[in-house]
Amino acid sequence: MKTQNIKLAALATLIVTAVSAQDVHFSQFRETPIFLNPGRTALDRDVRVILNYKDQWRSVASPYKTFAFSGEMALNKKKNKDNYLGLGINVFSDKAGDSQMGLTVGSLYLSGIIRTGENSKIGVGLMGGFGQRSVSYSALRWEEQYQSGAYTSANSSGEPTGATSYTLPDAAAGIAWTYGKGEKYISANNGVQATVGVGAHHFGFQKFSFYKDSGEKLFTKFVGHANVAIGIANSNLIVSPGIMFTMQGPSKEIVAGSLFKYVLSENSKYTGNKKGSAIGLGIDYRFGDAAIATLMYEFSNYAVGISYDINLSKLRTVSSTRGGLEVSLRFVAPNPFNSSANKSRI
C-alpha cells in the first residue's frame, strides 16, 4: 500500500475513533481532578489552579490540540473544617484535525465536603456548563474534487454540509473519598494519602450533530479513578500508583501506572527560607493504545509536568510510535511540603 493510502486509512481511523469516543482526554489524569470528577472540587486542597495543554497526532495529520484551565477553592473552611463547600471553574478548548473540529466549554463546579473520620472526608459535587462545537468545511478535500489526479476546490464534493457551529449545555455529578495519614514530605516519610471516586458526565441529553434533522446525542461518560501516595519509611521516595477508567457508549479507556517521586529538599520548619522540592518519574499505560512517560518537578506550591504518549496501537505504522506531547502547570495551597499543613488538610 502506498504511503499516501496508509495515511488516509490512518486518518480515517482517527476520525472514527474521535467520533466514537466523543470526548477529550488527558494522559496526565492525576492533573485533571475536577475534569474527571466534580466531587473532587476542593476536597484535598484549599486552593488549586491547573493549566493543561495536549498536542496529539502531529506525526499523522494536522495535530489535535487541547487547552484546559481549572481553578478551585474551599469556602468557609476556616469557620468549619468538618463541613464546608467547594467552588470551581473549568474551561477547555479542543481543535481536531484538518477540519479544525472544535469544542469550547466553560463549566462551574459546586461541592459539599463532609468529614467522615479523623483522617478522611467525602465530597459530592455537581457541574453545570455551556459549550460550542464548530467545524470548518473549507479545509476538507473529497474524492469527487479530484480530476485526473489534480485537486480543484471549485468542484463539488457531493457531500452534504451542515451548520458550522452549534451550542450545547453540559452537566456532571460525582462523589469522591479521600484519606490522609502521617506526613508525606518529612524525613520519616511515612505518610499515606488516597483518593477514590466516580463521576458521570453529560447525562446523554446533548444534541451531538451539525445536522438539524439528526437524532444523535452525546453518550453519557462514566469515570472511575483511584490514586494513592505512599511514603517509603526512612527514605526520600514516594510511590504514587493510580488508575482511571472511563466508559462512554461503545468506547472504553483504562489508564494505569505509577509516579515515583524523590524528595530533593524539605521546607524550612521555622524560617521558611528553604523551599521544598521533589522530582518525579512516571510510566502509565493506556490499554490497547500507548505507553505514557512522565517527568514532573515540584517546587514549593508549584509543579510542572511533561509527558509523552508512545503510540503502541496499529497506528504506529504511520505514527512511528509518536503519539502526543502534554504539559501541565499546577499551583496548590497550602504548601504540600509544609508538614503542619499536610497534617491539617484532612
Tell me the fold of 3-344.
Porin (2.40.160)
- Report the distance separating Cα 307 and Cα 18, nearest Å: 21
Write down the residue that cell numbers 463541613 correspond to.
83
Reply yes or no on whether the pLDDT at 331 is more than 90: yes
pLDDT confidence band for 31 (50 / 70 / 90): very high
3-state class (DSSP) for residue 123:
strand
119-142 pLDDT, tens digit each: 999 999 999 999 888 776 666 666
Indicate the average pLDDT of the chain: 81
Instruction: For residue 4, give the DSSP letter.
Output: H
Contact 318/36 with Cβ under 8 angstroms? no
pLDDT value at residue 145:
66
The pLDDT of residue 126 is 97
Enumerate the domain spans of the chain. Answer: 3-344
What is the value of pTM for the model shown?
A: 0.81
